[in-house]
């Protein structure tokens, strides 16, 4: 049973650090050349990857707790072998990241260990691993490479799309199949019926529980959706039925989300649409959630 008293986040090594150079050597020259490259550069510190600044903020939550149990744990999951992964641990130590648990799966997919650790969130650059994690009932996303933003806010801010992220894609299916008018009619008629949960409902629940704790930095959440009135009511009733609140809700009626995400100051944004993540990623770390009708082959 996953604990609601601690947030457990699993991060792939390529999400935490920039391993692109080594990955190119692996793809062009093979595993032995890659192993030699990593061993030769074992003491060369890796550059930050797309999740690096986010991980630093996650770990800040544990500050000022003294001898109390940490409220957040970050796990490292890597396809490296223990031999080639030593450089990754040296880099973790260099940056002072309090990451003590790791899996080096030797070329096989490491996502399955995320569930064994009880992770609430899995972030990776590998779409196949993320899809498998979602199928296993875990909140998971493929990270887009952001720019080199340094987050200066003294809060940790999460932004979520609604349909196919926090909620299932049943309403999205109506919109895609029958258009906006039918979608609004359907959502109005079913406003009293809670939407089924999507892959990120459980993660939002843990954040909601964490917000009740005394944290070194505050957490803040926002729903950022293309919905507008009259389709807003079912969303609010659904969150009420889950006994979960979000701090802000933006019903944008189809407007582009990027400027609103910047105003909110999101540290990370989750959406089921790759093009939305692509637009946001130059400004905000973005995670594509490959779930729902828009992500079917």
Catalytic residue positions, numbered: 161
In this structure, what DSSP letter does residue 289 have? -
SS3 state of residue 15: helix
Is 291 in contact with 164 (CB distance < 8 Å)?
yes
The structure tokens listed for 29 are 């020259």
CA distance 257 to 111: 30
Bridge partners for 225 per DSSP? 251
The structure tokens listed for 228 are 């507008």
Residue 53, phi then psi, degrees to nearest 5:
-65, -35
Is 235 in contact with 195 (CB distance < 8 Å)?
yes
In this structure, what DSSP letter does residue 144 have? P
Instruction: State the CB neighbour count (10 A cutoff) for residue 231.
Output: 24
Neighbour-count burial for 241-255, b at 16+ CB within 10 Å, e otherwise: ebebebeebbbeeee
In angstroms, how far is CA 167 from the centroid of its own chain?
15
Is 163 in contact with 169 (CB distance < 8 Å)?
yes
In this structure, what DSSP letter does residue 17 have? B
Q: Between β-strands 219-225 and 156-160, what pairing exists: parallel, antiparallel or unpaired?
A: parallel
- Pick from 120, 87, 159, 142: which is nearest to 10 by CA? 120
Helix axes 180-189, 170-178, angle to 10 degrees: 140
């Amino acid at each position: 049973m996953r604990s609601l008293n601690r947030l457990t986040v699993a991060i792939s090594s390529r999400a935490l650090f920039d391993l692109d150079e080594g990955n190119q050597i692996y793809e062009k020259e093979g595993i032995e050349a890659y192993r030699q490259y990593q061993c030769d550069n074992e003491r060369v510190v890796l550059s930050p990857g797309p999740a690096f600044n986010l991980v630093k903020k996650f770990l800040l939550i544990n500050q000022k707790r003294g001898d109390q149990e940490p409220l957040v744990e970050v796990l490292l999951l890597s396809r490296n072998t223990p031999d080639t992964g030593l450089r990754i641990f040296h880099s973790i130590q260099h940056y002072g990241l309090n990451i003590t648990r790791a899996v080096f799966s030797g070329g096989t997919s490491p996502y399955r260990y995320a569930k064994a650790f009880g992770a609430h969130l899995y972030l990776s650059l590998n779409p196949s691993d993320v899809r498998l994690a979602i199928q296993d009932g875990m909140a998971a996303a493929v990270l887009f490479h952001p720019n080199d933003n340094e987050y200066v806010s003294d809060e940790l801010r999460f932004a979520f799309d609604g349909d196919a992220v926090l909620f299932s894609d049943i309403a999205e299916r109506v919109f895609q199949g029958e258009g906006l008018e039918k979608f609004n009619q359907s959502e109005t008629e079913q406003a009293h019926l809670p939407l089924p949960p999507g892959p990120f409902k459980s993660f939002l629940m843990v954040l909601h529980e964490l917000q009740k704790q005394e944290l070194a930095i505050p957490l803040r959440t926002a729903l950022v959706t293309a919905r507008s009135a009259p389709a807003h009511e079912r969303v609010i009733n659904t969150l009420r039925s889950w006994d979960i609140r979000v701090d802000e809700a933006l019903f944008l009626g189809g407007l582009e989300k990027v400027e609103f995400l910047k105003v909110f100051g999101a540290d990370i944004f989750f959406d089921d649409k790759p093009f939305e993540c692509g637009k946001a990623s130059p400004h905000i770390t973005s995670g594509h959630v490959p779930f729902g009708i828009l992500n079917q082959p």
